[in-house]
A and B are shown apart, each in its own frame.
Chain A
Amino acid sequence: MTASLLSFYIFSTVILLSSLMVITSKNPVHSVLFLILTFFNGAGLFIILHAEFLAMILIIVYVGAVAVLFLFVVMMLDFKISLDKNNILQYLPIGFFVGVVFISELIIVLINTKFDLSNIQILVNPMIKFENLTNTEAIGSILYTDYILYFQLSGIILLVAMIGSIVLTLRTREGVKRQSIQSQLDRNYKSTITMVDPKSNEGVDI
């Protein structure tokens, strides 16, 4: 057993177990921590495939940003997921049935497919012109040229996501007093201070 095969089995076992824990653990903080473990092992799988760029991106983006954000939200909201046993039992049969159908389909495919190893080289390395580059260079050289359309459209999707989250959450309340630096700076002593000469027993007009 080669080292890469061994590490493949280790990583994928940990992924399966920890993703199972994500959905079954009662404490949401534990769920998020298991999610982070899943991401780390996924990055390990990418490294086995010689996709070190994707591995690093996965860790930076998903672990560094997304999962930590989840963790913040979970900790701040302080909600408890109650796992209702009845609920699980109610949906278990249909879920089990669908899962069995799924798995047996996949097994049938696996049995009936003759893996053509002459083709595998193209599948693993579809872009022959990048054979001697590191994959960071390879991604960089097509992302802004051949894949420019997808790249820009993904940007538009993010823009829509931003507009959507602002539209759904922003509330403008009436009567909120805000600091207006401009009007504060515009004030000078001439417009705010008046000199009066009050007489005794008469007071002043304001």
Chain B
Amino acid sequence: MGVFTIILPEIFLFLSSTLLLVVGLFYKRVNIINLLTFSILILAAVLVFYQPSSFGFNNSFVNDEFSKTIKMLILIGSASTLLMFSPSRRKINIDIYEFPILISFASLGMMVMVSSNDLLSMFIGLELQSLSLYVLASLNRNSLQSSESGIKYFILGALSSGLLLFGISYIYGFTGNTNFNLISATYDKNSLGLLIGIVFVCSGLAFKISAVPFHMWTPDVYQGAPTPVTGFFALAPKIAAVAIFLRFLYSSFGETAADWQQIIIFLSIASMIFAAFAAIAQSNIKRLMAYSSIGHVGYILIGMACFNFEGVQSLIIYLILYLVMNLSVFSFILMMKRKDEYCENINDLSGLYKHNPFYAILIALSMFSLAGIPPLAGFFGKFYIFMSAIKSDFYLLAVVGIVASVVSAFYYLRIVKIIYFDEPSEKFDEFNSSSLNLLFFISSGIVILFFVYPSPILNMGNYAAKTFF
């Protein structure tokens, strides 16, 4: 019994979503199943909160401060996706009760991934997560774009898993171990084969977090997938993949940080610069958010490259704020309806300040925050990241990051300009969905008021970073 308490939240999540799967077969009320899954995810987050720090299964599964923090973020992200799902499910033709269940299986995979201390459980968790995501992306069978995005995601995801496995086999071959701690103990600094293994595993994981040059799937998948699924992609899987990336590098190759820091620095600089320039020409807001998320991954990777306490702390803070900002934008995208049809073009936003001035201010502030303008939340996220880069003598990263965020301010501010100064277009439908309004107001409230009382989020970063240093 003892060993199973370590994975209690995972067991709970699995058993209850399987139960709901059976219930849904006979009781076809999608809304009720959705609500139940929502409460299961919240309960699992509570269970994670009360989990003691421990490890088990031959040290392949760890519960520490870091994994607990990330797991809670993931579960909050998944639960908010379900809130986005319920008002939009009819309109975009994904009105099936399997949606919430697939989301909860994906969260299960991510939780395993985040807790894994072994290459095997890392890979299995990653696959459990990706398999659910492939299905979710192609869920709208009547839309050609949705199927296209599912297929693209599947093929490129399979390719990246292949790269990952190739790297894993190298690491196993040259160290004889799959456990992160044992790899770190038997690490041979001069082994070139091991280095190639690290490079391949890094490329496989970079696919999952969509860092340049492994980003090609992101815009198409984000645009084609049903909007709640796009929101989910931006919220949860990225956080989980960043977390496992960090744990893989820090616990198994912490002693030779210089070897992999170059890779991370390259990925980071490439992502920041590419996203800043590529997003300028976008007209679809979901596609724009895809490029924006590529850019944010670049900033997150700065924190990872630092390899010190401040780096991890700023990374966690950035992840939390990234989650909140994306929540506010995606819950608003789901409210953009005209005559009961979803609008996805940025130009559709014009005239919003005339019809809904309050919403216009909030969405403009969210955009300012994404661009990193003080005193909004996004500014502090970037501030901590750049501070830690400067403290670790990565001046180049800090400079490139600041330049990239200046360039990216252009396309965020363009949205503000369209809202306030462009020729007003027709009025949107009433923003009457209570769950979307709730999400939107809470998340934009956090974005705006973060500077008043930042200590809870800063403490979370502190708490999680203690694990590694």
Contacts and interface: CB of A to CB of B under 8 A. Distances in A.
Contacts of A119: 176
B225 to A, nearest CB: 14
A149 B132 contact: no
A203 B284 CA distance: 71
B124 interface: yes
Contacts of A106: 196
Given A105-B196, A150-B120, A168-B141, A161 B131 contact: yes
A160 B176 contact: no
B387 to A, nearest CB: 37
Contact of A156 (B7, B14, B61, B173): B14
Contact of A149 (B60, B96, B108, B127): B60
Contact of B132 (A108, A113, A164): A164
Interface residues of A, number: 25
Given A146-B58, A150-B124, A156-B108, A109 B134 contact: no
A149 B196 contact: no
B96 A157 contact: no
A153 B124 contact: yes
Contacts of B57: 146, 148-149
A152 to B, nearest CB: 9
Given A122-B176, A156-B108, A161-B131, A149 B14 contact: no
A32 to B, nearest CB: 19
Given A148-B57, A149-B7, A163-B21, A157 B124 contact: yes
Nearest to B199: A105
Nearest to A163: B98
Chain A at the B interface: mostly helix, strand, loop or mixed?
helix
A49 to B, nearest CB: 14
B109 to A, nearest CB: 8
Contacts of B18: 159
B189 to A, nearest CB: 13
Contacts of A168: 135, 138-139, 141
- For chain B, give the interface size range: 20 to 34
B96 A167 contact: yes
Contacts of B139: 167-168
A149 to B, nearest CB: 5
A140 to B, nearest CB: 17
B14 to A, nearest CB: 6
Contacts of B121: 149-150, 153
Interface string B446-457: 000000000000
Interface in B60-112: 60-61, 96, 98, 101-102, 105, 108, 112
A112 interface: yes
A145 B102 CA distance: 28
A163 B61 contact: no
Interface in A117-133: 119, 122-123, 126
Contact of B135 (A112, A123, A149, A167): A167
A154 interface: yes
Contacts of B131: 157, 160-161, 164
B135 A163 contact: yes
B424 interface: no
Contacts of B176: 119, 122-123, 126
A112 B192 contact: yes
Interface string B186-210: 0000011100100000000000000
Contacts of A105: 196
Interface in A19-53: none
B193 A109 contact: yes
Contact of A109 (B21, B141, B192): B192
Contacts of A150: 120-121, 124
Nearest to B170: A109
Contacts of B108: 156
Nearest to B57: A149
B47 interface: no
Q: Choose among A108, A123, A153 the residue with the greatest number of B CB atoms under 10 Å from its CB.
A: A153
A163 B102 contact: yes
A106 B167 CA distance: 12
Contacts of A156: 14, 105, 108, 128
Contacts of A123: 173, 176
A128 to B, nearest CB: 12
A164 B14 CA distance: 16
B125 interface: yes
B192 A167 contact: no
A113 B193 contact: yes
B16 to A, nearest CB: 13
Contacts of A157: 124, 127-128, 131
Contacts of A161: 131
A105 B61 CA distance: 33
A105 B134 CA distance: 32
Interface string B10-23: 00001000100100
A164 B102 contact: yes
Given A113-B192, A160-B131, A163-B102, 20 more contacts: A105-B196, A122-B176, A149-B7, A149-B61, A150-B120, A153-B121, A153-B125, A153-B128, A157-B128, A157-B131, A159-B105, A160-B102, A160-B132, A161-B131, A163-B21, A163-B105, A164-B134, A167-B98, A168-B138, A168-B141
17 contacts: A105-B196, A109-B196, A113-B191, A113-B193, A123-B176, A149-B61, A149-B121, A150-B120, A150-B121, A150-B124, A154-B124, A156-B108, A157-B124, A163-B101, A163-B135, A167-B102, A168-B139
Interface of A: 105-106, 108-109, 112-113, 119, 122-123, 126, 146, 148-150, 153-154, 156-157, 159-161, 163-164, 167-168
Interface of B: 7, 14, 18, 21, 57-58, 60-61, 96, 98, 101-102, 105, 108, 112, 120-121, 124-125, 127-128, 131-132, 134-135, 138-139, 141, 173, 176, 191-193, 196
- Nearest first, the 9 A-B pairs at minimum CB distance are A164-B135, A149-B57, A153-B124, A109-B193, A167-B98, A112-B192, A123-B176, A109-B192, A157-B128
